Amino acid sequence: MDLKKVERVYSNYAGVYDHIFGRIFHESRESAVRRLDIKPNERILEVGVGTGLSLPLYPGYCQVVGIDFSAGMLRKAHERIQSHGLENVVLLRMDAGRMEFEDDSFDTVMAAYVVTAVPDYRKVVTEMIRVCRPGGRIIMLNHFSNGNKLIAAVEKVISPLCKHLGFRTDLSLENVLEGTSLLVARNEKVNPLRLWHLVECVNRKNGSPSTSH
């Protein structure tokens, strides 16, 4: 998958995305944000914000920046911030693999159902670490391949179809974390069938301590 395909596939999804991926995955979006215990003026980046389903979940006293490459998905997210009157949210069209933010710009970086939907997860994770301050939090809500042989066999069979649909099923959390400065503080199974993970990491770059707040 390349960026052209991201734009094509996700802009095609935009009109129906909330109906297909809204409610079924929403409980874990809610619990991901609820558990953050967000502080006043905390700077939060939502990578691959999509149609902005999680944006109304953030308290109005924090500052949220949402980025996405798909103009169609962002249009829907703009409609959502208008209909909810969210004055603390800014949306930008940007490649998560080449972000236009300074180093250490955010306290918390959230990626919900994103690392398996991007052309190059290594670039995206590297960028998430770069723009998150030392000691900040990086949250990934995602399906990760988990080594279970039966599930791995199913993932292998459906993988070509899923790639066509804009995401992959064969990426493990170990691969995502390999060689990074991220320390896993929490890893919980969520969503129907418990096949998805809510992973909270502390960004330990530059020798920062292992607690985030």
Calpha distance 197→191 (Å, rounded)? 8
Please report whether residue 6 would count as binding ligand SAM according to CB under 6 A.
yes
Measure the CA–CA gap between 200 and 156, rounded to whole angstroms.
Answer: 27
CB of 206 to ligand SAM, least distance (A): 25
Q: Which amino acid makes up residue 88? A: N
Q: Which of 32, 36, 38, 53 binds ligand SAM (CB under 6 A)?
A: 53
CB closer to ligand SAM out of 73 and 204? 73
Provide, rounded to whole angstroms, the least separation between the CB of residue 66 and ligand SAM: 9
End-to-end Cα, the chain, rounded Å = 36
Residue 50 interacting with ligand SAM (CB under 6 A): yes
For ligand SAM, the closer CB: 38 or 53: 53
CA distances from 62 to 84, 159, 179 (A): 16, 38, 31
Nearest alpha carbon to residue 39 among 131, 88, 107: 107
Per CB under 6 A, residues contacting ligand SAM are 3, 6, 10, 21, 29, 48-50, 53-54, 67-70, 73, 95-97, 112-114, 117-119, 167
